[in-house]
Amino acid sequence: MAPQYKLTYFDVPGMAETCRYLFSYGGIEFEDVRIKQENWPQVKDKMPFGTVPTLEHNGKVVDQSLAIARYLAKKVKLVGDNEWENLEIDATVDTINDIRQKIIAVFLEKDDAKKKALIEAVKKDTFGFYLPRLEAEVQKNKGYLVLGRLTWADFYFTTLSRVFDVVSGEDVLASYPNLKGVREKVNALPSIKKWNEIRPKTSH
């Protein structure tokens, strides 16, 4: 029988990897569809708003990576015990997403000189601003980002942090032992360790 869920994205971790982690963590079978760049133009028009990832389930298709991740997090019980706790997780996820949006600008910049300047700005104003504050959150939360235990915010941070070093050319989390600890803890989970071994090899 075909898996109940189909996740469609490009052949990279990117915005879909948190969802892939959540599926793996929960032992939920999913069809991991990876679009080739040359096929994207045709696929794009079939998507609700021309974006991926999308999740297909029971004949319905939805988009928006974080909305999908939140849904999966509920399925695999990596959420809060009440609405305020879920707000705390959501707010941390949004903050991590703010970091992501600032990093994206670097990848989109074509001009070398401007790119170099953007990288310096990211190191100073993005990593330099957000990471110390997130580091402090982890110290207050027994080695996790929120609620003193594993939540989907830790998964999102872990998958995004892959690109920190790609952007800056440095080991960004070297100065943030607690954040580094979150990533190591998540990647050491048996289900995640297995996923990282079997997943298609991509550049990062």
Partner 1 sequence: MAPAYKLTYFDGRGVAEAARFLFKYGEVEFEDVRVKRDDWPQLKEKTPFGQLPVLEHNGKQIGQSISICRYLAKVVKLTGNDDWENLEIDATVDTINDLRQKISAAHWEQDAEKKKKLRETLLNETIPYYLQRLEAQAQKNKGYLVLGHLTWADMYFTSGGTGFDQFVGSNTFDKYPTLKALREKVEALPAIKKWMEARPKTEF
Instruction: Report the interface residues with partner 1, using CB under 8 A.
Output: 48-51, 55, 57-58, 60, 62-64, 66-68, 70-71, 74-75, 83-84, 86-88, 90-91, 93-95, 98, 129-130, 133
10, β-bridge pairs: 35
User: Cβ closer to partner 1: 31 or 94?
Assistant: 94
**Least Cβ distance, residue 85 to partner 1 (angstroms):** 10
Go through the chain and tell me how many residues it has. 204
**Least Cβ distance, residue 78 to partner 1 (angstroms):** 13
Q: How is residue 42 annotated by DSSP?
A: H
User: Cβ closer to partner 1: 91 or 169?
Assistant: 91
Taking residue 108's Cβ as centre, other Cβ atoms within 10 Å add up to 8
User: Cβ closer to partner 1: 12 or 104?
Assistant: 104
**Least Cβ distance, residue 183 to partner 1 (angstroms):** 20
| 34 φ, ψ (degrees, to nearest 5) | -120, 120
CA dihedral over 8, 14, 20, 22, signed as positive or negative: negative
User: What is the spatial distance between Cα 121 and Cα 101, in angstroms, rounded to a whole number?
Assistant: 13
**Least Cβ distance, residue 191 to partner 1 (angstroms):** 21
Q: In this structure, what token pair is assigned to residue 163?
A: 């690109």
